[in-house]
A and B are shown apart, each in its own frame.
Chain A
Amino acid sequence: MTAPAAVSRWRSPVGGAAVPRLGVGLGLRPELEPLVLEGTGPIDWLEVVAEHYMGRPGAVERLLGLAGGHPVVPHGIELSIGTEGEPDAAYLDDLAGLVQMLNAPWFSDHLCFTRTTEFDLGALTPLPLSEEVARSVARRARAVQAAVGRPFLLENIAYHLRMPGELTEAEFITAVVEEADCGLLLDLANLLQNSINHGYDAYLLLDQLPLERVVQVHLAGGVLGTDGRYHDTHSEVVPEGVWDLLAYLCDRVPVAGVLLERDQNLHRSGEILADLGRARALVEDGR
């Protein structure tokens, strides 16, 4: 494999370099392993749920064998960057160990909270859109990035509940990633869902984000419910609305990694391969 070219405009404060271009990737699920092993699809890299491998060197070795030399990026779901207090030291140790074992070019988690002092919700929950919360989250994100020693990306989440606060969603995201000096994992399916369910212009929001910090993109397909709400179920082909957003984004900034998330209807490999192929074509057009 030749070394991938560096593409991001954002230069991480850790590592000292722009992040490399990975191309088009697939979120690894057990049922998708045969697709990866076949090696015929347009899959340049893999993303895995970080917590499934943290502190499990045997599982990581197996994963590296499966990846066959392709880059693997850990994507966390339990960091809970919005929870008050210091990030859990043992968790960060395990995460740093995983990132090192994978030699991952970056790692990511969600801009949300999943637990409070009282409850462990186990679900990505939106944060109050306040300056105080943004500063607090940014301080922790900066600490996480420093502790792990690789570029850290935060992902915008989908939400049913629009949270109160003096900032807009775009202002909140911007405040966090700029103050933390971390990258942005832009989930275009989440953006589409929120724009439909909360009645705003996704492109307007996109224009208000610091796009130069976008390192990675998530694509996924959901369903429009009978209640008129869009549900990002990761079960269907990527909808045209998401492809349009990706094309819009690729026209403006280079994106180091485009990743397809699929969690249901995993047997429909034809759909998955078609989505991956379309993503690759779009990304290559944008070069």
Chain B
Amino acid sequence: MSGVAEALARLLVDPEARRRLSLQPQGLGAAYRLTDEELKAMVDLDPEALELAADTLRRKRLARLSAVYPWTLKALHLGSGGALGKFMAGHPPAAGGGPAAALEGERERFRRFVAGRSGPGADLAADLLRFEECKRRLAMAARPGVHGSGERVVLRCRWDVLSTGAALDLAPPRLEPSPGPVRLLMSLGGTPGAATVRIHRLVPRER
């Protein structure tokens, strides 16, 4: 692929690169070995359209994470001063090993990011993440290779809040706030699993 496409990808995932494009475009040109003509074409890109395209990409990334970690994302979005923005800007979607591996890499980076946070709301997000990751692994173990093809996986749990939930399509939670950790026992297709979760506050997912 031409250096132009490589440079464009950088601009789409890196807000700082977009900011520098108008101030110091030579850096981008050197990094991607652009000719003077190619660099000028990049500088001449419509900045509004570039931001729009970057925002579209950001939303697609969030949608993919939200499909697996909807409650975690909600917790990050509600309580933590731009944590999602920091993740998006600081952890670009690295390539490697094909789309499936890249997606798993994105999830792994997200899990590390959430686990490594501190401050208000960090525990809640980390707990929700562990719970949602447990559910995902359970579902994948029970029905390998089916996810994404339209199969709806229903989890049977001890609490009503999860009785109608599916691994990738959770019903809005209806659990009252609980002060301490609870252990959720689940089974799916005969595969047992468990997660320990501290529920501080739950917000129904918007439809």
B2 near A120: Cβ-Cβ < 8 Å:
no
Return chain A residues, CB-CB under 8 Å to B46: 161-162
Query: Within residues 48 to 64 of chain B, which ones have a CB less than 8 A from any CB in chain A?
Result: 49-50, 52-53, 56-57, 60-61, 64
Return chain A residues, CB-CB under 8 Å to B146: 56, 58-59
Contacting A82 at CB < 8 Å: which of B5, B53, B93, B148? Answer: B5
Return chain A residues, CB-CB under 8 Å to B103: 120, 122
B145 near A56: Cβ-Cβ < 8 Å:
yes
In the complex with contacts A164-B41, A164-B44, A113-B5 CB distance below 8 A: yes
A116 near B149: Cβ-Cβ < 8 Å:
no
A119 near B45: Cβ-Cβ < 8 Å:
no
* Interface size range of chain B in the complex: 35 or more
Contacting A63 at CB < 8 Å: which of B6, B49, B149? Answer: B149
Does A284 count as interface, using CB distance less than 8 angstroms? no
Q: How far is the CA of A91 from the CA of B102 in the complex (A)?
A: 14
Query: Interface digits, B84-126 against A, CB 8 Å rule (1 contact, 0 not)?
Result: 0000000011111011001101100000000000000000000
Shortest distance in angstroms between B138's beta carbon and chain A's nearest beta carbon? 19
Give the nearest-CB partner of B45 in chain A. Answer: A161
B150 near A33: Cβ-Cβ < 8 Å:
yes
Q: How far is the CA of A115 from the CA of B92 in the complex (A)?
A: 12
Shortest distance in angstroms between B5's beta carbon and chain A's nearest beta carbon? 6
Query: Within residues 118 to 165 of chain A, which ones have a CB less than 8 A from any CB in chain B?
Result: 118-123, 125, 127-128, 130, 132-133, 136, 159-165
Return chain A residues, CB-CB under 8 Å to B10: 118-119
Give the nearest-CB partner of A127 in chain B. Answer: B5
Return chain A residues, CB-CB under 8 Å to B99: 51, 78, 114-115, 120, 122
B149 near A53: Cβ-Cβ < 8 Å:
yes
Shortest distance in angstroms between A167's beta carbon and chain B's nearest beta carbon? 13
Contacting B4 at CB < 8 Å: which of A56, A128, A136? Answer: A128
In the complex with contacts A52-B148, A117-B6, A120-B94, A160-B52 CB distance below 8 A: yes
In the complex with contacts A52-B148, A130-B2, A121-B53 CB distance below 8 A: no
Does A29 count as interface, using CB distance less than 8 angstroms? yes
Q: How far is the CA of A162 from the CA of B146 in the complex (A)?
A: 37
B6 near A58: Cβ-Cβ < 8 Å:
no
Return chain A residues, CB-CB under 8 Å to B148: 49, 51-52
Contacting B94 at CB < 8 Å: which of A51, A55, A59, A119? Answer: A119
Give the nearest-CB partner of A85 in chain B. Answer: B1
Shortest distance in angstroms between B190's beta carbon and chain A's nearest beta carbon? 17
A160 near B12: Cβ-Cβ < 8 Å:
no
Does A83 count as interface, using CB distance less than 8 angstroms? yes
Instruction: Name 9 A/B residue pairs within 8 A (Cβ), A-sorted.
Output: A30-B152, A56-B145, A118-B10, A128-B2, A160-B49, A161-B53, A163-B8, A165-B41, A229-B52
Known: A160-B49, A161-B52. 18 other contacts (CB 8 A): A58-B145, A78-B99, A82-B1, A82-B5, A115-B9, A115-B95, A115-B99, A116-B5, A116-B6, A119-B92, A119-B94, A120-B103, A120-B106, A133-B5, A160-B52, A161-B8, A161-B46, A164-B45
Residues of B within 8 A of A (CB): 1-2, 4-6, 8-10, 12-13, 38, 41-42, 44-46, 49-50, 52-53, 56-57, 60-61, 64, 92-96, 98-99, 102-103, 105-106, 145-146, 148-152
